[in-house]
Amino acid sequence: MNQNETVVKPANAKVKIIKRYQNRKLYDTQQSCYVTLDDIAKMIRTNEEVMVIDNKSKNDITAATLTQIIFEAEKKASQYAPLFTLREIIQNGNGSISNYLAKLGAFPADYMQKQAQAQAAQAEKASTDSVKENLEQRVANAAARASADSTAKVAAEKATILPGMQDDNTPTLPNPNNGNFSN
């Protein structure tokens, strides 16, 4: 198979979903077991369709995971890319292999634009979710403060009432003007 050929998967091919948890563990939902980056690399080599989803945010992080696999493979490689190539990637792609390959024309013309739009939409959603969570937290804090304030007020009112006395049983004091006062 040459470089320009692509493997066409049958229409009934299932996408294997891998969930990535906060502790960085990867869980294969189809096999019901934990997997490693090497396991995912083997799946890719055997032409399995793999999608990696962040379990908390539900975002598709397949590209980041595959990039991590490539990075780990590069670290283990006995031979690195030539220094002039690495320097060129840093100079002309701002250190990003994806940017560098896009400038070389390795992607369809609108690919990078669509990626940027998708990232902007995800960032906006994350920002909106953050604002919503912040607002919900502020409302909950205000409600807790209001509840604590009203409890403190009731306790203070109860503390000012003398034992054995009710609010409507105000004691009458002698009044020198009405003759109830004796010398």
- pLDDT tier at 20 (50, 70, 90 boundaries)? very high
pLDDT tens digits for range 41-91:
999 999 999 999 999 999 999 999 999 999 899 888 888 888 998 898 888
Q: Identify any residues that bridge with 53 across adjacent strands, giving them in sequence order.
A: 19, 60
- pLDDT tier at 9 (50, 70, 90 boundaries)? very low
Of the chain, the end-to-end C-alpha distance in Å amounts to 122
In whole numbers, what is the pLDDT of the chain averaged over residues?
Answer: 77
pLDDT tens digits for range 85-126:
889 888 887 778 888 888 888 877 677 677 778 777 777 777
Q: How far apart (Å, rounded) are the C-alpha atoms in residues 71 and 86?
A: 13
For the entire predicted model, the pTM comes to: 0.52
Task: List Cβ<8 Å contacts ≥24 apart for 11-19.
Answer: 13/49, 14/49, 15/49, 15/50, 15/51, 16/43, 16/48, 16/49, 16/50, 16/51, 17/51, 17/53, 18/50, 18/51, 18/52, 18/53, 18/65, 19/52, 19/53, 19/54, 19/55
Contact yes or no for 17/51 (Cβ under 8 A) = yes
Write out the H or E segment, with its range, that includes residue 49: strand 49-54
Using alpha carbons only, give the angle 99, 100, 104 rounded to the nearest 5 degrees.
Answer: 115
